[in-house]
Structure 1
């Protein structure tokens, strides 16, 4: 479903992503972990072309991009089929929860209002917010806003969903409600990549875990392999600081 080969990203003289190659099979959930500044969010944003790669190729489904060439039609098609959930929700403040979810269905998929609203209510129900359909973002908690954002992404029925630290902007007591919703989404075998600092969550929901540091993929393995039998010394060093509380506890 996703194939990335020899991806590089520079910001000026800074080499942020360094020869990144990996693949994600249809239905897989890949959790991307690593220290701050390791390039995790940049990688996710490059896959949706919110950041333009400097070099390399990206293939998602039938869509193929070779940097540094980004034809507008290809970019548009890719974004139609790749959902994105951001750290900061990115809801329209002047639209209700229902209209936030329906907006893309009407403007991008050209569905009529009645159909878009019916489908949007279905996805708001999936994230437990049907009763908040007429509320504006300012009337919702941070956790509820992020759940609306997840519903908005799901409603577009994308081939792939990308999540960039979806709980990082939330108060600690709101984190679990959003993680629970994401966990339910991954059970439906939606192809997804999730950048997260929640290591227990990564262990529970992912098919594989990708550990990044200094712009490179250091190791990518099943949760059991990576958390309990890491092969790379840098991965071991990263995990050791969280093992003091419990041998099976990887909370940050």
Structure 2
């Protein structure tokens, strides 16, 4: 199943939207959100989201809509592809840098005093850096739910999605870390070496039984909490 959005230009007269809805129903589509993009004297433009089985059905529905008098489909596309365009994450600054003084505050020379303070008292990193509110989402993409072994790069959209949830539900900055290694030793060593950057480690979509050995070793070697999402996350939901 997929959700497809159709941007449709419709005559701005009573009953026209109902005709479009009828055409969608004739194509066995299930209407979801309807958003008005613009209203004009002669035409209106609306985005109509329709649940369909596959891209073939989506195309047939577009043809049925196009067959209506004076109605045009400006474009139609899988909503998931629209939402993923450019990725789902970015890194933003907490403070704008608009003046020379602000640059001195966040970088040279001010940053040196913060670095020195942390070097003298490492626990200050939790106060003066993002480490304490950041998580590494680590995967090699060997067991992605419903997809299997698709590799690290193809699994990135899943990791980005988990990072979105961290941000919106917990206010935590999560960074997907794609590890191109199936070997347990290589995976563990990679995570251990980057671990100082993060306040927590999240393991995601790693094949069994390797995932359990990776989890065990990381818990033994790291001071940060290690969450194995396919076990701990599932247990919480259950």
Q: Same fold (TM over 0.5)?
A: no
Identify, as 1 or 2, the structure richer in helix: 2
Q: Could you say which structure has the greater relative contact order, defined with CA pairs below 8 angstroms and 6 or more residues apart?
A: 1
* TM-score normalised to structure 2 length: 0.25
